[in-house]
Amino acid sequence: MINAMVSIKRERELDLEDDDEVPVKIGRSSEDRRSRHCPYLDTINRSVLDFDFEKLCSISLSHINVYACLICGKYFQGRGLKSHAYTHSVQFTHHVFLNLHTLKFYCLPDNYEIIDSSPPGDIMFLLVQRFGELMRKLWNPRNFKAHVSPHEMLQAVVLCSKKNFQITKQGDAVDFLSWFMNALHGALGGTKKKPSSLTKVFQGSMRIFSKKLPHPDLPPEEKEALLLKEEYQEVMSESTFLFLTLDLPTAPLYKDEKEQLIIPQVPLFNILAKFNGNTEKEYKTYKENFLKRFQLLKLPPYLIFCIKRFTKNNFFVEKNPTIVNFPITNVDLREYLTEEAQVTEKNTTYDLVANVVHDGKPTEGAYRIHVLHHGTGKWYELQDLQVTDILPQMITLSEAYIQIWKRRESEDDDNHTGA
Q: Residue 362 has what pLDDT?
A: 86
What pLDDT, on the 0 to 100 scale, is given for residue 224?
85
d(C-alpha 99, C-alpha 97), whole Å: 7
**For residue 321, how many other CB atoms are within 10 A of its CB?**
14
Distances, alpha carbon 139 to alpha carbons 38, 142, 146, 179, 403, in Å: 18, 9, 12, 24, 22
pLDDT values of the chain reduced to their tens digit, one per residue, 419 residues: 444 444 444 444 444 444 433 444 444 444 556 777 788 887 888 778 887 788 899 999 988 899 999 999 999 999 888 899 999 999 999 999 999 888 889 999 988 998 865 544 467 888 888 899 899 888 888 877 777 888 889 989 998 998 899 888 888 999 999 999 999 999 888 888 899 999 999 999 999 999 998 887 888 888 888 888 888 899 999 999 999 999 999 877 665 555 456 788 999 999 999 999 999 998 887 778 899 999 999 999 999 999 999 988 778 888 999 999 999 999 999 999 999 999 999 899 999 999 999 999 888 889 999 999 988 999 999 998 899 999 999 999 899 999 999 999 875 555 445 54
> Residue 246: which residues within 8 A CB-CB, separation 6 or more?
271, 272, 274, 305, 306, 307, 308, 324
Question: Strands 204-213, 289-298: parallel, antiparallel or unpaired by DSSP?
Answer: antiparallel
Closest alpha carbon to 82 in 63, 57, 109, 107: 109
| DSSP result, 385-398 | TEEEEE-HHHHTTS
Domains of the chain by range and CATH? 41-114 (3.30.40.10), 123-188 (no CATH), 205-251+261-407 (3.90.70.10)
Ramachandran sector of residue 337 (left: φ over 0; alpha: ψ -120 to 50; beta: rest): beta
H or E stretch at 97: strand 96-99
pLDDT of residue 184: 93
In 3D, which of 205, 157, 159 has the Cα closest to residue 344? 205
Amino acid, res. 131: F
Separation between Cα atoms, residue 69 and residue 40, nearest integer Å: 12
pLDDT confidence of residue 37: 74
- Alpha carbons 85 and 95: distance in angstroms, whole number: 10
Helix H, strand E, coil C: the string for 234-279 is CEEEEEEECCEEEECCCCCCCECCCCCECCCEEEHHHHHHHHECCC
Handedness of CA 102, 104, 105, 110 (dihedral sign): negative
* CA pair distance 60, 62, nearest whole angstrom: 5
The pTM of the full predicted model, rounded to 2 decimals, is 0.70
DSSP state of 315: S
User: What's at 373, amino acid-wise?
Assistant: H
CB 83, CB 90: distance < 8 Å: no
At 181 the three-state DSSP class reads helix
**Contacts for 19-22 with beta carbons within 8 Å, 24 or more apart?**
21/80, 21/81, 22/111
Task: Render the burial of 222-257: b for 16+ CB within 10 Å, e for the rest.
Answer: eeeeeeeeeeeeeeeeeeebbbbebebeebeeeeee
